[in-house]
Amino acid sequence: MVVAGGLAAAGGATAAEAADPTGAELSAVVATCGQQVSAGKYAERSGGARTVPVCATGGAVHWRSGMTIDCDGQRTEKCNASTDPSWQGQTAWSQSDGKPLNAEKLPYIVVPGISSTWSYARSGITGGTVAAVVYQGRVAYAVVGDVGPAGAIGEGSYALAKALGINPDPRSGGVSGRVVDYIVFPGVKAAPIQDAADAVTRGKRAATDLVSRTHGCASVGVDGLYPRLDPGAALPEVKKAQCLLRAAGQDTGSGDPSGVLDPATVSAVKRFQKQVGLAEAGSVDSHTWTALLARGATPQVQDGSSGEAVFRLQRSLNAAIGANLTVDGAFGAKTTAAVKSYQTSRGLDADGIAGANTWRALQAGK
């Protein structure tokens, strides 16, 4: 069983198990869509009203939808052409032995086909990327395993539905309404893709990290100004820096972000600066802001791109060179010009494309 969360049996849980985040904690983290990474919204089912955005919080990509049942892949007792009129013998990603995934045995989620609305690839998501899925407080860990219609979102395998207590029958099962949280962790992959136990291990670790890093930060936005913050500063922007530091895995002290650059936060700043190769000054300057804001997956983005990586690019350019870009996640002419300006100022090839070298410089705070 790949379910986590809930109360552990008295005296029977290890310290690691006790630290596993509950479904309520995970759902609270993604309760609001502070940053929408999709250009539009999706329907729960093909042809329905488009009410579901794809969002990003603390490095995770998430959406809240219903669940339809995917039984595609290997032919099994529960998943075949007789049990599922829409059954297909293939999945978008295959097992390490080349066979399709086994929907009856492997918990996996389905992402919508790439379109102008959203590209899962540009958000750093691919086959095997690990996800936490929450329904009525119950948590199951899964992998990204298949691709569905380009206009709908909210689909999971037979095994995933069963693990969550949802009727897994492909004809009559599933659940409607925005009642299931799908929380995907870009860069976290099960190896091999069919190793459900590895997905659980990696998923619990990523989920625990997400809850820890975003504690008290759900309502703290990261857009706006990025002024220099010296030790002792007490400004609204300090909360922004504290939340970014937490997202980077740095401990800024217990409780909600204080809004004061206190000794614990100064120590966190120094640790982060050392990590990325900056001078350990303890002040949050433009270089530190840039490195904090650029953290995450580094896909190549250019004119016409959109999504989570473009949001981070625009913020980091605003911090690095005062680009004054509107942070809208859409890579257009102004973002291209800002990228070229940054590249020129840092001695990079000024092609206006944010590729590996540009991301490397931004994430180093240059």
Looking at the domain assignment, is residue 220 inside a domain?
A: no
Kindly report, residue by residue over 107-132, the tens digit of the pLDDT. Answer: 999 999 999 999 999 888 999 999 99
Kindly report, residue by residue over 235-281, the tens digit of the pLDDT. Answer: 999 999 998 998 887 888 877 788 999 999 999 999 999 999 999 99
What are the phi and psi torsion angles at 163 (to 5°)?
-65, -30
Is residue 16 very low, low, confident or very high in pLDDT (cuts 50, 70, 90)? very low
Q: What is the pLDDT of residue 253?
A: 82
**CA 83/CA 270 separation, integer angstroms:** 58
Alpha helices per DSSP H over the chain: 15-18, 23-29, 158-164, 196-214, 236-247, 263-276, 286-294, 308-321, 333-345, 356-363
b/e per residue, 245-274, with b = 16+ CB within 10 A? bbbbebebbeeebbbbbbebbbbbbbebbe
b/e per residue, 131-167, with b = 16+ CB within 10 A? bbbbbeebbbbbbbbbbbbebbbbbbbbbbbbbbebe
Cβ count within 10 A of residue 41: 17
260 and 321 share a domain?
Answer: yes
* pTM, entire model: 0.68
237 three-class SS: helix
Q: What angle do CA 128, 132, 134 make, to 5 degrees?
A: 145
Q: Are 210 and 59 in contact (CB under 8 A)?
A: yes
74 and 198 share a domain?
Answer: yes
pLDDT at 11 over 60: no
pLDDT at 17 over 50: no
Domain of residue 200, CATH code: 2.40.40.10
251 and 200 share a domain?
Answer: no
Looking at the domain assignment, is residue 231 inside a domain?
A: no
152 and 294 share a domain?
Answer: no
pLDDT at 3 over 50: no
**CA 72/CA 16 separation, integer angstroms:** 35
Structure tokens at 339: 């990228």
87 and 198 share a domain?
Answer: yes
Q: Report DSSP state, residue 121.
A: G
Looking at the domain assignment, is residue 85 inside a domain?
A: yes
What average pLDDT score do residues 5-11 get?
29
112 and 209 share a domain?
Answer: yes
Domain total of the chain: 2
pLDDT at 87 over 90: yes
Domain of residue 349, CATH code: 1.10.101.10
**CA 274/CA 115 separation, integer angstroms:** 40
Mean pLDDT of the chain: 90
203 and 163 share a domain?
Answer: yes
Q: What is the pLDDT of residue 283?
A: 97
What average pLDDT score do residues 336-347 get?
98
Q: Are 259 and 232 in contact (CB under 8 A)?
A: no
Q: What is the pLDDT of residue 8?
A: 27
Looking at the domain assignment, is residue 337 inside a domain?
A: yes
Domain range enclosing 286: 236-363
8 and 118 share a domain?
Answer: yes
What average pLDDT score do residues 65-77 get?
97
Give the percent of the chain with pLDDT over 70.
Answer: 95
Looking at the domain assignment, is residue 224 inside a domain?
A: no
Contacts of the segment 348-352: beta carbons below 8 A, 24+ positions apart: 352/302, 352/303
What average pLDDT score do residues 149-167 get?
97
- Residues in CB range of 178: below 8 A, 6 or more apart: 44, 51, 52, 64, 65, 66
Structure tokens at 130: 């690990």
173 and 302 share a domain?
Answer: no
- Residues in CB range of 55: below 8 A, 6 or more apart: 30, 33, 34, 35, 36, 37, 38, 61, 62, 63
Cβ count within 10 A of residue 238: 22
Q: Are 177 and 52 in contact (CB under 8 A)?
A: no
Q: Are 147 and 110 in contact (CB under 8 A)?
A: yes
Q: What is the pLDDT of residue 15?
A: 33
The top-scoring range by mean pLDDT among 39-48, 296-305, 351-360 is 351-360
138 and 271 share a domain?
Answer: no
Instruction: Give the domain-ending residue among 183, 214, 245.
Output: 214
Matching residue, tokens 């300090």: 238
Amino acid at 54: V
Give the percent of the chain with pLDDT over 90.
Answer: 75
Q: What is the pLDDT of residue 20?
A: 86
Q: What is the pLDDT of residue 145?
A: 98
**CA 163/CA 317 separation, integer angstroms:** 43
pLDDT at 9 over 60: no
Matching residue, tokens 């804001």: 293
